[in-house]
Structure 1
Amino acid sequence: MATATAGRVRTVTGAAVLTALVLVIAFGNPAYSDWAKDHPLNDAWGFFLKQLAWPTWSFSSDDSIRTILASDVKAILVVVLTGVFVSLMADPSPSRSARLFFSSWGAYVFAAAFAGLLAAFIQADASLRGAIDWAAGGGIYGLFVGWVLAIVVFASRH
């Protein structure tokens, strides 16, 4: 599962976790999330830009502490669960390139949906319906953003 290159060891899981972390930090931050809300673009590119902000995180907000904590936990869980699911699903062998791409993408979909499902129960006024909504949002995020992670994972192996 590891490839030695220039004195370093790269793994599929490491590349996936690093990519997920960059995506969550870069696009889940309050500045980008606020920009995405304030600039609704009514085309496919605008939809994609809005999806990038799904795992929102914040250190201060007008929301309740539980809601802030739930959002932060959701962002953390996306990164952690990406590592878990990629390590379980991805086949890093060179002869399985297409499998690596699609399993990494699928792992990100599962990680985001599961993170939404788990984190939804932390927020104030938690409900099963709210958890399903958060899981659905995570699934949509993973479907439309996960290909970015899959490309990075695929490229890290070649």
Structure 2
Amino acid sequence: MAIFTRARTATSSGTLAIIVLVLAFGNQAYTEWAARHAQGDNTWDLFLRTLAWPAWAFSGKDVLAHDLRALLLIIFVAAIIGVAANGVTAGAGAFFLGWFAVILGAALAAMLTAFLTRDASLYSAILAAANAAAYGLIVGWIVGIATSAGRKAAG
């Protein structure tokens, strides 16, 4: 029974982290702010711009695709962590699981929703998946820390 509790805690911690990231940094106010103010050629500005990738809004072009992409990102990350959480130990294993879940979940969400945009093509879907994987690489460590902390808390 303790195995299921640990997996559930790791999954909920990682899912909560990605929900917070998407809601806090994917909203229209933050994405517009990042587009105006985080344009330097340094690591911090790159991080701030990348945080805005799962942009969601209530209006604009391709709004359905972007909103669905943000929702699928949360769903895929939760599913990947949930499926694999029992197979990893606390610490580094849970950290890398959370990080990998964001890389893969973002790439899958971007590839699937790229076909809903006006300029849909296989090339644009693969390019969207590559950009999304970069989001996971740069931001996914936050979910990795949350997943690892959740795994340790239940252990």
Normalised by the length of structure 1, the TM-score is 0.87
Runs of 4 or more, structure 1, over 2 Å off, are 88-93
Alpha-carbon displacement from aligned partner over 1:107-155 (angstroms, at most 9, x marks no partner): 1110011110001011112111110111011100000100001111111
Instruction: Point out which structure has higher relative CO (alpha carbons under 8 A, 6+ apart).
Output: 2
Alpha-carbon displacement from aligned partner over 1:18-48 (angstroms, at most 9, x marks no partner): 1111100000000110111112121001101
Query: Are the aligned partners of 2:73 and 2:109 in contact in 1 as well (CA < 8 Å)?
Result: yes
Letter in 2 for 1:53: A
1:55 maps onto 2:54 in alignment: yes
- In 1, the alpha carbon distance for the partners of 2:14 and 2:68 equals 19
User: How far apart are residue 50 of structure 1 and its match?
Assistant: 0.5
- In 2, the alpha carbon distance for the partners of 1:92 and 1:23 equals 25
1:81 maps onto 2:76 in alignment: yes
Query: Are the aligned partners of 1:91 and 1:99 in contact in 2 as well (CA < 8 Å)?
Result: no
Tell me the residue number matched to 1:11.
9
Q: Greater strand share, 1 or 2?
A: 1
Match of 1:104 among 89, 98, 108: 98
Match of 1:34 among 32, 35, 47: 32
Query: Are the aligned partners of 1:89 and 1:104 in contact in 2 as well (CA < 8 Å)?
Result: no
Gaps of 5+ in 1: 4-8
1:109-124 alignment to 2 at 5 Å?
Answer: 109-124=103-118
Residue aligned with 1:60, SS? coil
Letter in 2 for 1:38: R
1:125 maps onto 2:119 in alignment: yes
User: How far apart are residue 97 of structure 1 and its match?
Assistant: 2.1
Q: Greater helix share, 1 or 2?
A: 2
Gaps of 5+ in 2: none
Tell me the residue number matched to 1:45.
44
User: How far apart are residue 91 of structure 1 and its match?
Assistant: 4.0
- In 2, the alpha carbon distance for the partners of 1:20 and 1:126 equals 27
% same residue: 41
- In 2, the alpha carbon distance for the partners of 1:91 and 1:145 equals 23
